Structures are given as C-alpha cells and as structure tokens.
A and B are shown apart, each in its own frame.
Chain A
Amino acid sequence: MPYRLNINGAVRRVDVPPEMPLLWVLRGELGLVGTKFGCGKGLCGACTVHVDGAARLSCQLPVGSVGDSKVHTIEHIGETAIGARLQQAWLKIDVMQCGYCQAGQIMSACALLGQIAQPSTDQINSAMAGNICRCCCYNRIRSAIRIAAGMEEESTRDA
C-alpha cells in the first residue's frame, strides 16, 4: 500500500503493507535508524517516537494507522526547545553507557516535560518506567530530566 507520511516535518512516501510497524518503515524504508529496535513487543521503549506530540511505541504502531499524524523522531528532537535542553542535559552529565536505548529515553522524557514542566521523582519514574536501560543509567536519566527542567540534580555523593 502506498502511504504519504509526515515525518519530521517532511512528506515521505512509502509502499508497504498496512500492518508494517512504523519502526520498520522508519528504519528499513526511510533510513531513519536513530529509532531503535529492542523487543518488538512494546516492552522496552527503545522505539519511542512522537505522534502528534505524544510518545508512542513505534514497534506497536501499524503504518496504516498513522494517517496524517505528525511523526517526530530522535533525528529531529534537537530542533525542539525541550528536546535541545534534554540533549544538553544528557551531555552535561554524560548519561549513557552503551547508548542504544537513549533515543527512546529522550523521546519519553521530552513527552513528559511537554506535559509537566517540573515533574516530581514519582512522576519521572512513572513516565520513564516503559523505557529499559540495560546498562542501568537510571540515576543519571532522572538527573538529566531534572536538569533539563531547571531543577537540581538528583543527590549523590561521589568522593
């Protein structure tokens, strides 16, 4: 089936079965490999993208259901104010180890800060619980979200 998709502000045309998850359209058909494959079952959050501003798991989103919605991916997120702040915060305290899940983490964090400017720790935990980081950089992910939100870093004591 031919589709006209609105991806990162541009119209992209693909011809794929309607059931193909958006993840595999982005990665395989459009070369947008920043969005990651982690589990294929909506369990890990590595494939998180924004659809009309909301965080969605692209491995669970058939391309046929996307329609005219505006899809944004990690490749574009630095062009948004919140996205750029998150990227800077992520770099400031170098959140990542392997980095594979971080695109999904940033996309979820961006959606969170879009809804709640200064989330509590519980709100951060709950909004980010769908994103697995196998390297377990969770302390720093939490801290980076707080920094991007203009709050203090999570307390730690390294000597």
Chain B
Amino acid sequence: MREQVRTGLNRRTVLKASLLAGGGLALDALIPLPAALAGAMEGKSPAAARLSAFVAIAPDGTVTIVSKNPEIGQGVKTSLPMMVADELDCDWSQVRITQADVDQKRYGEQSAGGSTATPKNWLPMRQLGAAARAMLVQAAAMRWRVDANQLTTARGRIVDPATGRSIGYGEVASAAATLVPPDLSTVRLKEPGQFTIIGRPLVGIDSARILEGRPIFGMDTRLPGMLYAVYEVAPAHGGRLVRADLEAAKRSPGVKHVVPIVGNGDPDAGLADGVAIVASNWWLANQARSRLGVEWDLSAAKGHSSTEYQAKAEAAIAAGAGTELRLDGDPEAKLASAAKRIAARYYYPFIAHAPMEPQNCAALYQGGRIEIWAPSQAPQRGLQALHTALGIEPDAVTLHLTRAGGGFGRRLLNDYMVQVAAIAKSVPGVPIHLIWSREDDIRRDYFRPAGWHSFEAGIGADGELIAFSDHFVTFGDGKTPARAAGFNVSMPPAGLVPHLRYSQSMLPTVVTTGWLRAPGSNALCFASQSFLDEVALAAGTDLPTLMLRLLGEPREIAAPDNGSPFDTARARAVIETVLQTSSWTQKPAQSGRAKGFAFYFSHRGYFAEVVDASVAGADVRVHKVWVAGDVGSQIINPMGAENQVRGAVIDGLAQALTGQAIEFIDGVVQQSNFHDFPLARMPITPEIDIAWVKSQKPPTGLGEPALPPVLPALTNAIFAATGTRIRSLPVRLKTA
C-alpha cells in the first residue's frame, strides 16, 4: 500500500523510502553481509548473504519495526528493534514490533541459530535507524528552512536548539518519505555513551501477553474448522509400515480421518512411513493410536544399540589413530620423549533437546496452495524440505512464523512441517494442527550425537604441556560426519601447543542427529577441558594457571577452517576475571566441597566459569557458579542477556547431573518422557554470578557460548572434592 518509492543506492546496499498509505515514512533496507557472517550453518542459500530490515514512522509518531527472525526465547524480537530504535533516537514506548511472515525475497535470511543475530544485525539495524533519523531531521530542516546540522533529536522529537522549537517525528514523517535516503554506509552512528535504549534492561516485547495466557505459540494456533492430528511412526528410524488396522482407528471416538503416509525413504528428511490420525480433539486423536495395532519392519535399525556403539568405538580407538584432521609439529616424537605422559578416554551420550513446547505445526491445503503456521527456527529450510519431500513449490506456500516454546536447535529441522503438509494435502480444505506427544518429541529427536575421545598429553621436565593428541570417535558415513557430529580442529589447546594431533574415526548410524545449543562445543568442551584439568594437575599446577600459560602473549590465532579467530587477550581477561570474582585461591574449608574451573570459546564468545560444588555419596550439590563472559563492547539488553547466561549454566548442569542420556536398542529409543529423560528443576538451581568483560569488539550472541564451560567446571569440581574423575556423562557417582 505504498506510493512514491525512492531509492538510495550504493554499491552494497539498497535503501528504499516510501510513503505509508495513511501518511508517514517507511524505510526498507537490503544489506549484504560480510562473508564471515553469511551462512553460519549448512544449507547456505543466496538469501543468507544479505539481511533486510524495515521500519515505519506513522503520523502519530508510532514507530513500527518488523521483527523478521524467529523468536524462540533468545530475545531477538526485543533486542534487534532496540538497535533500530536507539539510533532512530525515539522513545521505546513509541515502538511497536510486528512479527514478519517468512518471505525470502523480502527479508533475506530468517533463522535463529548459531548465536548469529547480534553480530549480523549490530551494524545494519543501527544504520537503518540512523538513516531514518537523518531523513526526519532533513524534513524538519526543510520545513523550518534551517541547516539540518544545527538540529538535534531526543525521544522521538527534532529540536532546534537555536530557537527551542521542536517537532515530533510523526509530523514530518510524510515529508521525509519524499526525500532520497542517505547512503547507509555513511550515516553517522551514535557513540556508545550516547545510547539511550541499547544497554538498558528492557522487558521482552511479548512478556505481558504471555503472562495473561493469550495465544502466541505454535501450539496456540486456532483456525476455523481446525482438526488435530497425530502421526504414528516406527519406534526406530528407517522403520517401514507393514500393516495397520486403519478401520479400527477410524471407529475411535472423534476420529475423522486415518491417513497412511508412505515415507520418502529418507528418515532424515522428516517424512517417515506412518499413519496420521485426524480427530476433532487432539486427545481423541492420540487415544486412537493404540487401536492401530501397527506392525513395523524395523530391520534397518538392527544392531544400532548403545552397547554396540560403545564396543565399536572402543575397537576404533584400539585400531589406531584414525583419519588425521590436524597435525602441528611432531606430537608422536614429543609424546614419546616427554618427561611425563598421560592418557585418558572420555565419553558423552546422545541427548535430546526436549523444548517445553512439543513439536507441532498447523497447515491448510487448498487450491494447490498451502498455508502453514510454524514454530520453526529455520523456516526457510522448511520450504526446501517441503519441496524435497513433497514436491511443493516454495511459491505455493504461505508461511507464518509463530513464537516457539524453546528451540535449543531442535527447530532448525522442520520434519513436523513436512508431516503436517503431507497430512493437510490428504484432506484439502481442512486446517490441520499436528501435535506430537512428549514421547514423540523425545523419541524422534535429532539428537546431540554421542562421542568418544582418546586423549594423550606430554609434559616437559619444566612442567610445560608440549604435546597433545585427541582421537575422536564420532558418527558418520566414513567421509562426512553426521549432522552436528563433526570435530572442531581449533579446539583448545590447538594453536597453543607446538605439537598436536587431532584425528577422527566414524561409526555408521541410522540415528538422526542434530545441533543442540552450542553444537559441537557442548561436548568437546567437557572432554577437552576435563582432560586438560588432568594435565594441569599432572604438571603440578591448576587448570586456570595452565590455560593462562598456554595463552601466552596477546594475539589472534586464525582458525584453519575459516571460523572465528581466537583472541588470546580476550580469553586471558575472562579467565583472570572469574578467578577474581570466585576468589579461586580460597578453597572451601568443608570436606567434600570444592571449586572447579573451565574455559571455552564458542560462537564468538569467551567464557570462563567456576563451579562450587559439594558431594555427599552420589549426590552432587552446586552451591554457586561464577561466570565471566566477553561478548564484545556492548550488552544489548542486559535483561535478556543475563537470562541467557543463567539458563545456559543451569541447562549445562542438568546435562551432567540429572541423568540425561538417550539410549538405543536396535534403533529403538529407550527414553520417552521427563521421568527417564530428566530436565533441570528449581531445587538444583545455584546462585549464579555474572561478570561481563567488555572488550572493544563488536557485540556477539549469547544463546550458546555460556553453556559449554559449566560442564567441565562442574566435573573438575567433583574431582577436586572427591578425587573421582568424571570421564563419562552423565555424572553417576557410587552411593557409598
């Protein structure tokens, strides 16, 4: 509904100004991203290389900012508009935020993953706000016939200090829409000291609505005439449907349709063989499942059992060093000649994401088009999946994004979207809401893959770590690791030790794997920082001291795989900070109680953490956790940022302490709900102290990097308290 489109163009950026239908200024920005930030995960599309933003100022002064990314609890729906609003120099109370539908042409990449929203948007969002402000100021200058440079702004008004007169943004917004937008790369941005919104603890934009129980989540989708569906699939991946009593299920109360669906043979694509039951109420649909009497062919998953994986991993380690991933210097010779040589094996299990909102998705198929309501973290990947699995062209899809009740990486995959589309296609004209039971959600996860590490370290006569090696056993087809099962060749101490070897072996699996919060790092950090704690003690020191010695002079170490460079000065600063805040050198007097330390760098964030824990029999109690984190010069919204850190810390503690492990027998997941896959509960929650170390680097994301160090900080504390080294997760201590 716009007229008079004017475009300011430079080599890299498109900025379009237009007049809103009811008067006012609308600004659309299309901004290419630096290569380092584009496409942080697999499935890079051209859209990932650019970013777009939209802001509108209505005649009444209301500022509308479109939030295009999925909101999964990480707070982007509030924090990204804060960046726009601050440079626009309006009052936060003037701001309205609307959730965008999925539209690749208009919005470019729309996803929530990899802690990328903050680094990607920090500059463009502010530039857009500053450009809008410049245009409003220009319009006021023209009205008053003065030089724009002599005008200032504050809280959504333009002020002429010479005369004291002022005018609201809304009053000049229509005039501003007739101006040629400035070059985004040249608009003047605020100095950090001038921020009025960025850095203020602000309440999430949807919090009040959620506390009143108003609909917002995918689960809350309600459409006229909507029916509810369950989708019964085999208990093991790759299972084929042999027979099912469709008629019996159809006779069950409330059931309207029973639809057998032939899978596309690729369990990873999300459309396994199955039977959909569609009923007037979800509980009625779920009740009818037991009447199906389904028989499955589970032969594809035979032998895919946790015990077999364990045996194969041990055999792979015994067989030798595997495929070399990184070789620095001559670790073999240096290990052989080291004054002291230590070795240890580490293991962590498959675990599930289990977001509180079970997977679900609503769809209406009619007239060759499909409309979808999805709580997805990567909806555009869902469009690709719909095309691959069902031949639905992306142009035939209208895709609405709902808020997601947690993501943790689970909703980066869109199997539920493919399934509901398949069901909706079979009952055209009827809106269908597919809801998974909790059992479905846990058993059909894309699990964080299990992994095994065989470490060796050589310590010189002077107590220095001189050689280090890790043979990693993971899952994959022999050439490529399974999703989220890859190694990180920059894992510390790589780059810090002269002689180092990282190698890998793979086991085949039918289990679907995927990214879990701080993918890779959530597992690698536990194994490597625990083993380095062993190394430090063997070298007669402690882990923070060893890490500080290894970090050496301030420098940036490039990542061989084009990942983020590692800044040893930033690492040093967070380590020194947490040693101070936790009073590291003061050991708890009580026996069976001790502190543990760990450091990690992931998703561009530097985190050092100390855990104070006590152990009595098999019970571990965490008293306090100290966190020092460096995610750049500016915390955008301290309210959300601290919540991300606390959540990550408790999440990590729960992974270790509540007994989280997914196990398989012939591919069948043995866990099913929160009684056997336990999550954190309030009583385990310790006091958490957060210290931000603000380096002069652009701000980066917080969804992930605070999680990895807490696991080894905890297990290192358990060792310090008891002398028992935890080399396998979850923590299982003997009762006596």
Using a CB–CB distance below 8 Å, which chain A residues touch chain B? 16-17, 20-21, 23-24, 27-29, 31-41, 43-44, 46, 73-75, 77-78, 87, 90-91, 93-94, 96-103, 106, 124-126, 128-142, 154-159
Say yes or no: B213 contacts A35, CB within 8 Å: yes
B687 at the binding interface (Cβ < 8 Å): yes
Kindly provide the distance from the CB of B224 to the nearest chain A CB, expressed in whole angstroms. 12
In-complex Cβ contact of A158 among B206, B638, B654 (8 A) = B638
Point out the residues of chain B lying under 8 angstroms from A99, CB to CB. Answer: 73, 204, 206-207, 210, 216-217, 403, 405
Say yes or no: B682 contacts A141, CB within 8 Å: yes
Chain B 351-365, CB-CB to A under 8 Å as 1, else 0, gives 000111110000000
Which of B49-57, B595-603, B642-650 forms contacts with chain A?
B642-650
- Complex A-B: 21 CB contacts under 8 Å: A33-B219, A36-B356, A36-B357, A36-B405, A38-B438, A39-B674, A41-B438, A44-B356, A73-B213, A74-B211, A78-B211, A94-B201, A97-B643, A100-B355, A129-B683, A132-B674, A134-B406, A136-B649, A136-B650, A156-B688, A156-B690
In-complex Cβ contact of A132 among B74, B207, B356, B640 (8 A) = B356
Q: Which of A28, A35, A44, A102 has most chain B Cβ within 10 Å?
A: A28
Q: Which of B283, B648, B654, B691 has most chain A Cβ within 10 Å?
A: B283
Kindly provide the distance from the CB of B76 to the nearest chain A CB, expressed in whole angstroms. 12
Say yes or no: B283 contacts A20, CB within 8 Å: yes
Point out the residues of chain B lying under 8 angstroms from A21, CB to CB. Answer: 283
Q: How many residues of B contact A (CB 8 A)?
A: 73
Kindly provide the distance from the CB of A100 to the nearest chain B CB, expressed in whole angstroms. 3
Interface contacts beyond A36-B356, A38-B358, A134-B651: sample of 9 additional A-B pairs, CB < 8 Å, sorted by A: A17-B284, A20-B284, A38-B356, A44-B356, A78-B211, A96-B210, A98-B404, A100-B356, A129-B683
Distance A90 CA – B206 CA, assembled complex (angstroms) = 12
Point out the residues of chain B lying under 8 angstroms from A46, CB to CB. Answer: 356
Point out the residues of chain A lying under 8 angstroms from B675, CB to CB. Answer: 41, 43
Say yes or no: B215 contacts A129, CB within 8 Å: no
B689 at the binding interface (Cβ < 8 Å): yes
Distance A135 CA – B640 CA, assembled complex (angstroms) = 12
Distance A134 CA – B646 CA, assembled complex (angstroms) = 12
Say yes or no: B643 contacts A138, CB within 8 Å: no
Please give me the residue from chain A that is nearest to B645 by CB atom: A158
Contact A28/B281 with A44-B674, A100-B217, A156-B689 known, Cβ cut-off 8 Å: yes
In-complex Cβ contact of B643 among A28, A91, A140 (8 A) = A140
B435 at the binding interface (Cβ < 8 Å): yes
Q: B378-424: which have CB < 8 Å to A?
A: 403-408
Distance A40 CA – B214 CA, assembled complex (angstroms) = 21
Q: Which of A77, A87, A136 has most chain B Cβ within 10 Å?
A: A136
Please give me the residue from chain B that is nearest to A154 by CB atom: B687
Point out the residues of chain B lying under 8 angstroms from A90, CB to CB. Answer: 207, 211
Point out the residues of chain A lying under 8 angstroms from B638, CB to CB. Answer: 158
Q: B216-238: which have CB < 8 Å to A?
A: 216-217, 219-220, 222, 228
Chain B 698-717, CB-CB to A under 8 Å as 1, else 0, gives 00000000000000000000
Please give me the residue from chain A that is nearest to B408 by CB atom: A134
Point out the residues of chain A lying under 8 angstroms from B280, CB to CB. Answer: 28
Contact A96/B691 with A28-B228, A133-B356 known, Cβ cut-off 8 Å: no
Say yes or no: B685 contacts A142, CB within 8 Å: yes
Please give me the residue from chain A that is nearest to B641 by CB atom: A158
Say yes or no: B204 contacts A96, CB within 8 Å: yes
B203 at the binding interface (Cβ < 8 Å): yes
Say yes or no: A135 contacts B674, CB within 8 Å: no
Distance A40 CA – B406 CA, assembled complex (angstroms) = 18
Say yes or no: A34 contacts B204, CB within 8 Å: no
Point out the residues of chain A lying under 8 angstroms from B587, CB to CB. Answer: none
Distance A137 CA – B643 CA, assembled complex (angstroms) = 7
Say yes or no: B685 contacts A87, CB within 8 Å: no
Say yes or no: A157 contacts B689, CB within 8 Å: yes
In-complex Cβ contact of B75 among A28, A97, A103, A130 (8 A) = A97
Please give me the residue from chain B that is nearest to A93 by CB atom: B639
5 closest residue pairs by CB, A with B: A34-B213, A98-B73, A100-B405, A74-B213, A136-B650
Say yes or no: A98 contacts B72, CB within 8 Å: yes
B212 at the binding interface (Cβ < 8 Å): yes
Point out the residues of chain B lying under 8 angstroms from A24, CB to CB. Answer: 281-283
Say yes or no: B642 contacts A158, CB within 8 Å: yes
B588 at the binding interface (Cβ < 8 Å): no
In-complex Cβ contact of B214 among A34, A93, A97, A158 (8 A) = A34
Say yes or no: A94 contacts B73, CB within 8 Å: no
Contact A136/B685 with A37-B219, A74-B213, A90-B207 known, Cβ cut-off 8 Å: yes
Kindly provide the distance from the CB of B284 to the nearest chain A CB, expressed in whole angstroms. 7
